[in-house]
Chain A
Amino acid sequence: MNQQVGIKSVIRALSPITKGILCIGFILMFSIFCKMWLVAFNLNLFIILLCFYLKEDAIGLIVSLKRIWFLLLFVGLFQGFVGKSFDLFASLNAIFKIMGIYLTATLYTRISTQNELLYFWEICFKPLKLFGLSSNELALTMVIAIRFMPVFIDEIDRIRIAQIARGAKLTRNSIVSAINFMPLLIPILTQAIRRSEELADAMEVRGYVADRPRGRYKSYKLCGYDYLAFLVMFITLALLVWKMMS
């Protein structure tokens, strides 16, 4: 969920609007149009190969799947046992769909800066202004929520280091260590809120007011690669729809 810095690739140079639409488009493809496991598998393969081709961290992306292995296993088994006997293809289809959604979302957040995410979601939320809601505040809340997970993971890591630094011998048993960790969840949340308050103060003292109109340092324009990306997405979508209809 964290932005990866220090990599230059075509996909990163795309406009935030293109990145956002591609992300939503692929998530829709996985959720609605993938009716066969082979199609879902091929789409996953396409994303991974694209990452290799564009010199993105494809290995890191694949390794990140270990975070959701339990979810994949659970969904696979659940979907497989829906019928009278175990349906392997239905199980694989469910697994590859979840995997695809996860890879798309992870790739999207990895290749987008905070400002790019904010820019796209602000545009998405603009119609809500009709109901008196601030699109900027909603977008900011959403981006902070996305970026909050790595902070949360960092906080857990900090506490683990703080525990070892106190000379405490931590158990190797993951279940016992998870139980020992439960009482610390409330302080972790409290500290995360405290840090967010500090961040809010820091932003305000630098003159940030969410609902004030302001300009942008960087203007985002669509270029040739954006149109190419849309073309790839629409061809893929058309193929999927055709496959579903036939």
Chain B
Amino acid sequence: MRLSIGNLVIKFNDNPFLGPIEAVFDSGCLNLIVGRSGCGKSTLLKLIAGFHKDFTGAVSLDEDYFEPEGNVALAFQNPESLFFNSSVFEEIAYSLSVSGDNKDSIKNHTESWMKKWGLDPELYSNKYPYKLSGGEKRRVALAACTILSPKIILLDEPLAGLDRVGQSDLAEIIYSLSQEHIVIVVTHEPELLMQKDSRILYLNDKDTAQYSSSEFLSKAVIDNDFYPLPEWYSSTLRSYAQFYDLPMVNAEAVAEYLESYNNESASGN
């Protein structure tokens, strides 16, 4: 599946705010949107979800007309804005119950989905969503949004406010979702989600463009003003930045990369 946006200009009260944007978002890889606060990342997600109507340009799914309602799930930055039921179970099962499934299948499906998102049904089913911790709320919101398996899943800063373990657990689930759905994630920490095959749409005033993860990393390592990556990563790999196969931003991958590069250099000599 491929969601394409062409010549898209986002407007507010008919005044152009961002664009033109050209981008494609595929299933099978993770699509990230990055940019400074207030640059229009969340608005772009809302536009794809059909909530922001003030724009020109085209949004198409597999080159066909794209109807957001029923095809898109959007998890807002604030998980509480998605809650309106009185228990975690009801919250997650809501979409299934309105789609007319029978009670048993709703129960089974919801419980298995809760387990997938790390929410033990026995522990969490009857809890009031607002009383959960920040990380748990986010899991509930994401589980509630994705249970109907819509074609397109839009996540607005899904890892914000979580500890490192929580972030890596969620990143793993999000990556697994991206194999079957078009997953588009707005984030301020692309390094936590980025994979070799990820696409990064970088929204900025000068040149909004879409990059492969290696292109993005290489540009950011060469020019820290382009996008600030962790200092240890940039300084370690600055001399390798001319290559487009830079490793992902984690210590293990960088160590492996350096080792293989040094081995290749040694065998070349």
Contacts and interface: CB of A to CB of B under 8 A. Distances in A.
**Do A and B originate from a single complex?**
yes
A184 B148 contact: no
Interface in A173-200: 180, 184, 186-188, 190-191, 194
B151 to A, nearest CB: 9
B250 interface: no
Interface in A136-176: 158-159, 161-170
B17 interface: no
Given A161-B51, A187-B86, A194-B130, A167 B95 contact: yes
B69 A166 contact: no
A77 B44 CA distance: 49
B98 A168 contact: yes
Given A164-B69, A166-B94, A167-B72, A159 B148 contact: no
B268 interface: no
A162 B83 contact: yes
Interface in B63-109: 69-76, 81-86, 94-95, 98-99
Contacts of B81: 158, 161-162
A161 B86 CA distance: 18
A49 to B, nearest CB: 28
A188 B83 CA distance: 10
A168 B74 contact: no
Contact of B148 (A161, A168, A180, A187): A168
Given A167-B71, A180-B98, A162 B84 contact: yes
Given A164-B49, A180-B98, A194-B130, A169 B69 contact: yes
A167 B86 contact: no
A163 B81 CA distance: 11
A167 B150 contact: yes
B188 to A, nearest CB: 21
Contacts of A187: 84-86
Nearest to A161: B51
Interface string A78-105: 0000000000000000000000000000
Contacts of A164: 49-51, 69
B70 A168 contact: yes
A93 B226 CA distance: 69
Nearest to A156: B84
Interface string B222-246: 0000000000000000000000000
Contacts of A190: 86
Contacts of A161: 51, 81
Nearest to B83: A162
B249 interface: no
Interface of A: 158-159, 161-170, 180, 184, 186-188, 190-191, 194
